Amino acid sequence: MPRATGVRGFLERLDRGPVIGDGGFVFALEKRGYVEAGPWTPEAVIEHPEAVKQLHREFLRAGADVCQAFTFYASEDKLKNRGHSAGSHGVKGINQAACDIVKEVTYPEGGLVAGGVSQTPSYITTRDKALVQAEVRKQCEIFKKNEVDLMICEYYEHVEEAEWHVEAVKDFMPGTPVCASLCINEDTDVHGVPTGECGVKLARAGADVIGINCHYDPFRCLDAVKKMIKNVKAAGFDKVHFMIQPLAFMTPDASVQGFIDLPEFPFALEPRICTRFEMQRYAREAYEAGIRFIGGCCGFEPYHIRALSEELSAERGGFEPASGMIGWGKCLEKHTKPWVRARASKEYWQNLKPGTGRPHSSSFSKCDQWGITAGHELMSQHEEATGDEALKKALEFKKRMENVEIIINA
């Protein structure tokens, strides 16, 4: 079955049934060698357009309905932060290249195109509303010109910054649906605002779709969105829809800043990757919780999105992604070895507890919890590169934290 494309509008599609998002671009493209870990900025849209285009194609083929222009962290202050050179391409250059790429591959397939903005270094450094909203508007100029189908404001640890972004986008692009997504857990944002309340604040700021992305595994993100749903509904916003784009890594042990605090972030997270069967379970639970925009963030590869599409195929009018698993591994019936053929069932894969092959690794890790955020000198951002002195300060702080721990444990 082809993608059901009768309805053009994003919000109308959400009213009708589940809408599948795409996966994580910075993580997927870093692994392929096109994005630099650290800044995580999207200059690949200019430097390696073919790589970005191919990833959009693969997410679409896996069943994504919404493709997000690869403009993550493309605010001017972030492109130039700490000696980063991506600023030379300019915000407009990057965003236009991203729009050209995503429109070319998405529209022929009947998908929708999202523009995107995300947290800015200016917020944690200044908490100056006018300055932060000016950064947002610079990025939106291109999205407005390109008439994107929706905007995704994503990846905020502070609900206050998300509210400012939503207000700015709504004001600058009236009529364009706006999604607002925080990277917080089931408890609070990093200022201690309860997660459910954060949802209400975003609704008041004018967001049409509200939810969570990144930082935590699918099941912790589900718990967080459920809290938002409860509070937003209780506050009387009955037209608001909900979204979820979690990590593809299991993070039961992650603390306040999610996977960033895990010692494995960002280069050794592989043992935590969710299986496609865990993704199917996640998609089902999200749909049953009433969430209609369901996708992925860091760690999600196209086959994870395919698992979501397959799970929700009936709810999407029988749409089947290309090269699906055909009934939980029915294809394995064609294997030459009988013990592999015997794995051709839903039951087998649903009940499997996969081994990690690492007899000395533990299931949980100990998080870095430095307890500092906006306002602390080590958190302030600037254009100069991180010099030896600044690096030394961070290492000294690390040592102090370790000593505190020795005292506490003594």
Pick 343 or 382: Cβ nearer ligand CBH: 382
Q: What is the DSSP string of 153-182?
A: EEEESSHHHHHHHHHHHHHHSTTS-EEEEE
Among 59, 143, 155, 319, binds ligand CBH (CB under 6 A): 155
Pick 24 or 329: Cβ nearer ligand CBH: 24
Pick 66 or 325: Cβ nearer ligand CBH: 66
Which strand (E) or helix (H) includes residue 140? helix 129-145
Record the tokens describing residue 156, joined without a space.
């905020």
Residues in contact with ligand CBH, shown as a per-residue x/- string from 23 to 62 under the rule CB under 6 A: -xxx-------------x----------------------
72 binding ligand CBH? (CB under 6 A)? yes
Please state, in angstroms and rounded to a whole number, the distance separating the CA atoms of residues 102 and 94.
12
115 binding ligand CBH? (CB under 6 A)? no
Residues in contact with ligand CBH, shown as a per-residue x/- string from 314 to 353 under the rule CB under 6 A: ----------------------------------------
Place of tokens 């910054």: 161
Q: What is the DSSP string of 333-402?
A: GG-SSHHHHTT-SHHHHHH-----S-TT--SS-PPP-----TTSGGG---SS---HHHHHHHHHHHHHHH
Beta bridge partners of 118: 154
Record the tokens describing residue 85, joined without a space.
């050179």
Smallest gap, in angstroms, from Cβ of residue 233 to ligand CBH? 27
Total residues interacting with ligand CBH, rule: CB under 6 A: 12
Name the phi and psi angles at 181, rounded to 5. -135, 125
214 binding ligand CBH? (CB under 6 A)? yes
Q: Which stretch binds ligand CBH (CB under 6 A): 21-29, 45-53, 306-314, 354-362?
A: 21-29
Please state, in angstroms and rounded to a whole number, the distance separating the CA atoms of residues 66 and 286.
17
Smallest gap, in angstroms, from Cβ of residue 147 to Zn ion? 26
Please state, in angstroms and rounded to a whole number, the distance separating the CA atoms of residues 378 and 343.
52
Name the phi and psi angles at 255, rounded to 5. -100, -145
Binding site for Zn ion (CB under 5 A): 214, 297-298
Residue 218 identity: P
Pick 76 or 154: Cβ nearer ligand CBH: 154
Pick 15 or 50: Cβ nearer ligand CBH: 50
Smallest gap, in angstroms, from Cβ of residue 106 to ligand CBH? 15
Residues in contact with ligand CBH, shown as a per-residue x/- string from 278 to 297 under the rule CB under 6 A: -------------------x
Q: What is the DSSP letter of 192?
A: -
Tell me which residues in 222-281 interact with ligand CBH (CB under 6 A): 260
Residues in contact with ligand CBH by CB under 6 A are 24-26, 40, 68, 72, 154-155, 214, 260, 297-298
